């Protein structure tokens, strides 16, 4: 069930069946010479939308801009500062909690978001901790590639050249969903050196075409489809488990 | 051209042709017994995506959560506080300006966003005003229904029962784009009284099913299609004019 | 009754008769070659002070600095950023609500304030909306020229040359109250073009002497007096109506 | 010269003669059973307005709401939080500095403001210190009773019963300026005990009628006039000295 | 009893005996040619640690970075902005209050901290004042040199050359505690002129070696020991008095 | 070299030899029935202070309060909210960068700090990324247990019962440095279940005595000494490598 394509009475009815909502969250940032700028918010959106066809789960609108300051050296990247990102996650969460959602599952597509999302969770929990009160809801962060079985599948599909940014697995997922937007490019075969993550100009100097150790030309829509189906199934299982978890306080 | 479905080299190339980007912006909030929660971000997204098929314009990712605190009494609504909204618009703008965009056009689908978006623009301009410097970019806000000819078309289509929230025109637009998600409901014929906009519980007390003076059952996908085509054409014209406007300082 | 010229026991007594307070709010900004920098906070102050002579209403201190970043290209303008303005309106409101005021009426003299004041109201309401609680007070914004009958009177007084900034009507009001501070200047007869509101340098380039389409030389103290008397009467009526409005939640 | 009663060309001309501006700053808070709520912003305003009749100095609009959280237990008090106060002082200063003012003199009427105003100054200076740059302007805080000779005069006028809040000296100043608003009350002769400054309810418990060790009935308009004349003269002298002070960096 | 060297069950037990905690707070900033950068946080830490050997009092971890923006022209200085400092004091206090501490005593070693610490207290109290509720805890600020008898002892020890920054008394305290870190330098005998506190570059221009009117060579470890013993005793007395103070609301 | 025990001329001289500074950073939080509340800031401080005896490296004051909201259910824990922590790390960094430090190495003792420290780094880098400028300094985070060889040594020392909070390795380090503060307790042999990190009350419900899967009674001062020596050596090596790293932009 897609929240944005539902009416409020439908959500009111859903809340009598479940208190869990899934929020796809990602980033809009460069993904090398052939990857789509939307890759990181598209991937969790694609998987979650697929999953809700097979289970009575609720998928919220996609949080499509995250923390990608290091990619700002490449045109098209849009980033929130961590402080803004924390505030926004806070308001999404406060809104959902106001309706009675008790389990809010952030389904993430961007590694660079992880630290700030965790900080945002702590910011929300801290209000309760200072007040010595139960928070009343639980927050969970899961990267789509960390769902059960997915990293292994990706390694099987792409035993070499997977890398860590503009990976063939994420690009394959977008190819499956947006086949008309498959791009090609003659990029140099040398793999950009890995290195620290700093400001945008430094990142572009280290990774001139945006890739980090990946060979995105390995991606195919078929492999993307395999990943989507496997991830959607794993997502359903994990969300069921999260929903079933009791509150201790 | 859709930014999220483009690569960074494609955006780099676009910037040699134009410095303008369109950001669809809306809200995810209750739209009465039959309207989709995503109506207000879907409408500008639908229109802008349609427009870019006919012109060399660039449409960014959709800013899908806005200021809808007064709708929080209805399940499914998600709102930013104005202070968060201002910060987020600021970071989107700073990101786009970092790439050299000089005309940033916020194409809005939610009346409740207007005040805060204008405040966000002033927050950004104020940095330059305090420093007695040119800002280097121009910001523009346009509601889709205020594009040339659109309000008149909607009044022609819906001479009675248009109202001001969960209107048949916005619902028609979503019906055209999401025909599988057309909803019906037996709602009471009485039109909710108009009134001030205050906190969520007050709003729900005044408008028990969420509508404000509208009869959304008048919407049809065909009328939606008319609106989309007319608005897309008007958008192309207005964006061209905005792009052509010179900087005075 | 003027709050600032009262003692706390007098306010305590007033609260047994009424829970309504009026806050004149404006801006300190350039008003063309002859208008006073304080015009926009003086006008609502003048009208509200006049009104309280004829009715048992309470007028708070004047909030004299608002959102005028676009006027910062002209010496003497003082502006808050929207984020600061929102915080300050919040604290004024929290203070007044702490005393039991339930209807807080912001009586505005500056069009550039409107968006941010509305955003500030939403910021305050959102706290209650997130908590699913009644706010306990109602906020209202009214521009003095939008009081019943005032725009029509101004159009009658100044059928041509009213314009939208440094208007003869607002200048007439200050001439009536500050007759010793009536200024004249040889300004060029051409009316500055209208245009978008952006940063300070852009605004000054578009409006070299600060006026926007107005001919302030048309102002006279007599016309100002007419406006003040009409507005004061309309204010009393509207405040009575606002005070009488019941809470729904 | 009063900034608010001037035009922008008059301020532009003043800046060719002087780069100094005086900002009266105070608080709107309870002042015991007979003192006006506006006492603390009225006093510096009264003195500064008097002073500018005798010297070519520029007096800005009055910053009338300060840090008075401890007085919130008494109706009519309006307070900013320190964080809001710091932001607002920052924006006033940035505005004035944008016009070329280099010496900004905050002329204060409320002891409770002192700590936060100093913190606000440090916040502004810190931007320059982090950047290893000159700030370009100098800020000065002066309480009106600390001007040369004023404390001594007040002690002479009120050798007993001066106290520290709702003092006869400050009330005398307002009596001189607002003779129609002189209030009387039968307050208990016992002087409230001194004590720490904490939250509003604690303060009211310690000081049931709001006075701190003072006998405000000693005030007379005549004594107020003496204070105003002496303070105005001292203000002119001190501002001249501040204006003459060279920048070292 | 040192909180950081205790276990949580030990603190839980302490709370059954006392609700008071002492937080040494200072700054890390230049202290002239011979003073240690840590002088201002070391002094209250040294004294408080000494005091807890003789009384059942609880000393928390040291808050070692304060408001020292004016010293940033000298290498090694670390400063918080006032807004950050206020936020951090707030979180320390909220944490301690969550455990049931009701008297929180900030024992300060840096004059430049005073204004911001007081502002931070007001920020915390204001939350309660806006809500018309008791705060539930009391905050107290004390500079170590203002403890009973200490200023007099320092004046006796250093009748000339005490000055106001990099004073022989504070340096003596650190010499007593860190005898291996006693530094000497040939500094010019002229005493730097006093002056206003502004940005870092201005401060360094006024005080080229960082001292303000002091002759730190007068310091000896023995005099430091005298100061520590006297201050520790006075601290115990004052903390006992603060602990015994009843709440009025 | 310890910054706090140095004078500013000594730091000025150091900067001619190196632009690198090490900041020990940790947390003050419960560490089970026998661990010291200061464990997490003591460990990096102990190791860094030991390391600077053997190499010409500079160790700043210890940042002793971090993000520990989940431990607030246990008395003695003090935590910053992530937003405060980000602001404070920002000001420490801005201060050090103002002096010319170009490599700032945060040497961490608390796993719960990692996400927020990384967010703080991104907040600082983002300023440069938005401005398309080089940042001018590089930031690095290293947990002491992740230094080369340390995790392996700890696993060798404590092959069973190491766990993840109140571990015998961290407690051993504090025992070596604070032998007078070694605590014992009869704690239940059952190992607390692992689980998610949420608000304070939830955490205490899951981990009743504060430990997470550890048997801290295995700690000995001797093993602590081994860890300190090994970590100090590894720290020196890594800091040298970080210092030598060239800037690319």
Per-residue pLDDT tens for E102-128?
Answer: 999 999 999 999 999 999 999 999 999
Which pLDDT tens digit goes with each residue over E120-177? Answer: 999 999 999 999 999 999 999 999 999 999 999 999 999 999 999 999 999 999 999 9
User: What is the per-residue pLDDT for B189?
Assistant: 72
Do B109 and D77 contact (CB within 8 A), yes or no?
A: no
Min distance A126 CA to chain E CA atoms (Å)? 10
* Whole-angstrom Cα Rg for chain F: 18
Nearest to D36 by CA among D200, D224, D201, D235: D224
User: What is the per-residue pLDDT for E85?
Assistant: 98
User: What is the per-residue pLDDT for E195?
Assistant: 85
Cβ–Cβ of E116/D115 closer than 8 Å? Answer: yes
Look at residue B67 and tell me whether its pLDDT is greater than 90. Answer: yes
Which pLDDT tens digit goes with each residue over D188-198? Answer: 876 777 789 99
Do E3 and E62 contact (CB within 8 A), yes or no?
A: no
Under an 8 Å CB criterion, which residues of B touch C? 67, 69-70, 72-73, 79, 81-83, 86, 112, 114-116, 118-120, 122-123, 125-126, 128-130, 132-135, 138-140, 196, 198-202, 205-206, 247-249
Among A98, A124, A135, A136, most C C-beta atoms within 10 A, so best to mutate, is: A98
**Percent of chain E scoring above 90 in pLDDT:** 96
Mean pLDDT of B36-57: 98
Mean pLDDT of C126-152: 98
Helix (H, G, I), strand (E, B) or coil at A184: coil
Among C123, C130, C132, most A C-beta atoms within 10 A, so best to mutate, is: C130
Min distance A89 CA to chain E CA atoms (Å)? 20
| Buried-state track B145-175, b at ≥16 Cβ within 10 A, e below 16 | bebeebeebbeebbeebbbebbbbbbbbbbb
Beta-carbon contacts of residue D112 (< 8 Å; ≥ 6 apart): D27, D29, D66, D67, D68, D70, D71, D197, E122
The answer to whether chain A touches chain C by having 3 or more C-beta pairs less than 8 angstroms apart is: yes
Among F2, F5, F7, F210, most E C-beta atoms within 10 A, so best to mutate, is: F7
Q: What is the average pLDDT value for chain A, to the nearest integer?
A: 97
Sort out which chain E residues have CB atoms less than 8 A from A131's CB and list them: 98
pLDDT bracket for residue F71 (50, 70, 90): very high
Look at residue A190 and tell me whether its pLDDT is greater than 70. Answer: no
Sort out which chain D residues have CB atoms less than 8 A from F137's CB and list them: none
Which pLDDT tens digit goes with each residue over F110-141? Answer: 999 999 999 999 999 999 999 999 999 999 99
Min distance A130 CA to chain E CA atoms (Å)? 6
User: What is the per-residue pLDDT for A165?
Assistant: 95
Question: Between β-strands D138-143 and D103-108, what pairing exists: parallel, antiparallel or unpaired?
Answer: parallel
Among B1, B2, B4, most A C-beta atoms within 10 A, so best to mutate, is: B4
Nearest to A30 by CA among B24, B9, F132: B9
Among E12, E98, E100, most A C-beta atoms within 10 A, so best to mutate, is: E98
DSSP string across chain B? -BGGGS-HHHHHHHHHH--EEEEEE--B--BTTTB-TTHHHHHHHHHHHHHTTTSS--B---B-----GGGTTSTT-B---HHHHHHHHHHHHHHHHHTT--EEEEEE--GGGHHHHHHHHHHHHHHHHHTT---S-EEEEEEGGGSTTHHHHHHHH-SSS--SBS-HHHHHHHHHH-GGG-------SSPPPP-----HHHHHHHSTTS-BS--GGG--HHHHHHHHHHHHHHHHHHHHHHHHPPP--
Assigned token pair, E123: 């920020």
Sort out which chain F residues have CB atoms less than 8 A from E11's CB and list them: 37, 75-76
Find the helix or strand (DSSP H, E) in which F106 lies. strand F103-108
Q: Which residue of F has its CA nearest to B95?
A: F130
Assigned token pair, B143: 């509601």
User: What is the per-residue pLDDT for E201?
Assistant: 98
Mean pLDDT of B202-221: 95
| Cα–Cα dist D222/F95, whole Å | 53
Instruction: Report, at the CATH architecture level, how domain E3-244 is classified.
Output: 3-Layer(aba) Sandwich (3.40)
DSSP 8-state code for residue C113: G
pLDDT bracket for residue C193 (50, 70, 90): confident
Which pLDDT tens digit goes with each residue over F6-58? Answer: 999 999 999 999 999 999 999 999 999 999 999 999 999 999 999 999 999 99
Cβ pairs bridging A and C (under 8 Å): 7
Mean pLDDT of A119-138: 98
Model's pTM, two decimal places?
0.98
Nearest to F145 by CA among F154, F136, F133, F157: F154
Question: Between β-strands A103-108 and F103-108, what pairing exists: parallel, antiparallel or unpaired?
Answer: unpaired
Sort out which chain D residues have CB atoms less than 8 A from F95's CB and list them: 130
Sort out which chain F residues have CB atoms less than 8 A from B97's CB and list them: 130
Q: What is the average pLDDT value for chain C, to the nearest integer?
A: 97
Partners of D23 in beta bridges: D106
The answer, yes or no, to whether ipTM is higher than 0.95 is: yes
C11, C28, C30 ranked by CB distance to D61: nearest: C28
Beta-carbon contacts of residue E202 (< 8 Å; ≥ 6 apart): D134, D135, D247, D248, D249, E70
Mean pLDDT of B121-141: 98
| Cα–Cα dist E125/E108, whole Å | 20
| Cα–Cα dist A94/C127, whole Å | 10
Look at residue F65 and tell me whether its pLDDT is greater than 70. Answer: yes
| Cα–Cα dist C94/D96, whole Å | 28
Assigned token pair, B49: 């995506």
- What are the C-alpha distances in Å from D122 to residues A119, C13, D113, E72, E114? 29, 41, 14, 12, 12
User: What's the order of all strands across the beta sheet hosting A20-25?
Assistant: A20-25, A103-108, A138-143
Min distance B70 CA to chain D CA atoms (Å)? 25
Cβ–Cβ of D94/B132 closer than 8 Å? Answer: no
Sort out which chain E residues have CB atoms less than 8 A from C98's CB and list them: 129-132
- What are the C-alpha distances in Å from C131 to residues A13, B86, C128, F197? 21, 22, 5, 24
Min distance C48 CA to chain D CA atoms (Å)? 17
User: What is the per-residue pLDDT for A108?
Assistant: 98
- Longest pairwise C-alpha distance within chain E: 58
User: What is the per-residue pLDDT for B190?
Assistant: 66
| Cα–Cα dist A105/A93, whole Å | 10
User: How many CB atoms within 10 Å of residue D180?
Assistant: 6
Question: What φ, ψ does residue D11 adopt, rounded to 5°?
Answer: -70, -40
User: What is the per-residue pLDDT for E189?
Assistant: 72
Which pLDDT tens digit goes with each residue over D56-81? Answer: 999 999 999 999 999 999 999 999 99
Mean pLDDT of A202-212: 95
Q: Which residue of D has its CA nearest to C35?
A: D7
DSSP string across A201-247? HHHHHHSTTS-BS--GGG--HHHHHHHHHHHHHHHHHHHHHHHHPPP
Look at residue C243 and tell me whether its pLDDT is greater than 80. Answer: yes
| Cα–Cα dist D107/D43, whole Å | 10
Q: Which residue of C has its CA nearest to B136?
A: C199
Do C192 and C209 contact (CB within 8 A), yes or no?
A: yes
Instruction: Provide the CB-side half-sphere exposure for C156 (13 A, CA).
Output: 9
Angle at C18 between CA C14 and CA C24, to 5 degrees: 85
Which pLDDT tens digit goes with each residue over B90-104? Answer: 999 999 999 999 999
DSSP 8-state code for residue C22: E
Mean pLDDT of C67-94: 98
Can you list the alpha helix ranges (DSSP code H) found in chain E?
A: 8-17, 39-51, 82-98, 114-130, 150-157, 168-177, 200-206, 221-244
User: How many CB atoms within 10 Å of residue A47?
Assistant: 29
Which pLDDT tens digit goes with each residue over D139-156? Answer: 999 999 999 999 999 999
Report residue E213 CA to chain centroid gap: 20
Cβ–Cβ of A78/B90 closer than 8 Å? Answer: no
The answer to whether chain B touches chain E by having 3 or more C-beta pairs less than 8 angstroms apart is: no
C14-19 long-range contacts (CB < 8 A, ≥24 apart) are C14/C58, C15/C99, C15/C100, C15/C101, C15/D75, C17/C56, C18/C56, C18/C57, C18/C58, C18/C243, C19/C100, C19/C101, C19/C102, C19/C103, C19/C243
DSSP string across D132-184? T---S-EEEEEEGGGSTTHHHHHHHH-SSS--SBS-HHHHHHHHHH-GGG---
Region of poorest pLDDT, from A106-115, E187-196, F99-108: E187-196
**Percent of chain A scoring above 90 in pLDDT:** 96
| Cα–Cα dist C143/D240, whole Å | 41
Sort out which chain F residues have CB atoms less than 8 A from E80's CB and list them: 88, 91
User: What is the per-residue pLDDT for A188?
Assistant: 82
Helix (H, G, I), strand (E, B) or coil at F176: helix
Sort out which chain A residues have CB atoms less than 8 A from B8's CB and list them: 30-33, 37, 74-77, 210
User: What's the order of all strands across the beta sheet hosting B138-143?
Assistant: B20-25, B103-108, B138-143
Question: What φ, ψ does residue B193 adopt, rounded to 5°?
Answer: -65, 150
Which pLDDT tens digit goes with each residue over A142-172? Answer: 999 999 999 999 999 999 999 999 999 999 9
Q: Is B76 left (phi over 0), alpha (psi -120 to 50) or beta?
A: left
């Amino acid at each position: 069930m897609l929240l944005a394509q539902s009416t409020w009475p439908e959500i009111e009815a859903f809340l009598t069946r479940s208190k869990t909502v899934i929020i796809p969250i990602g980033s809009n940032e460069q993904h090398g010479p052939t990857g789509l700028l939307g890759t990181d918010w598209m991937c969790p959106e694609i998987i979650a939308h697929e999953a809700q066809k097979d289970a009575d789960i609720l998928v919220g609108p996609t949080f499509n801009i995250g923390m990608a300051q290091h990619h700002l050296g490449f045109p098209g990247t849009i980033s929130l500062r961590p402080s803004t990102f924390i505030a926004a996650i806070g308001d999404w969460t406060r809104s959902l909690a106001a309706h009675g959602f008790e389990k809010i599952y952030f389904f993430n597509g961007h590694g660079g978001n992880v630290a700030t999302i965790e900080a945002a969770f702590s910011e929300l929990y801290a209000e309760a901790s200072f007040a010595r009160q139960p928070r009343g809801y639980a927050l969970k962060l899961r990267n789509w590639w960390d769902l059960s079985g997915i990293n292994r599948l990706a390694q099987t599909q792409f035993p070499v050249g997977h890398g860590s940014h503009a990976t063939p697995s994420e690009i394959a997922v977008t190819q499956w969903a947006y086949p008309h937007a498959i791009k090609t490019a003659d990029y140099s075969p040398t793999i950009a050196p890995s290195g620290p993550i700093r400001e945008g100009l430094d990142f572009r100097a280290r990774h001139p075409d945006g890739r980090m150790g990946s060979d995105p030309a390995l991606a195919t829509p078929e492999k993307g489809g395999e990943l989507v189906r496997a991830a959607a199934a794993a997502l359903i299982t994990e969300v069921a488990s999260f929903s079933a978890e009791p509150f201790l306080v």
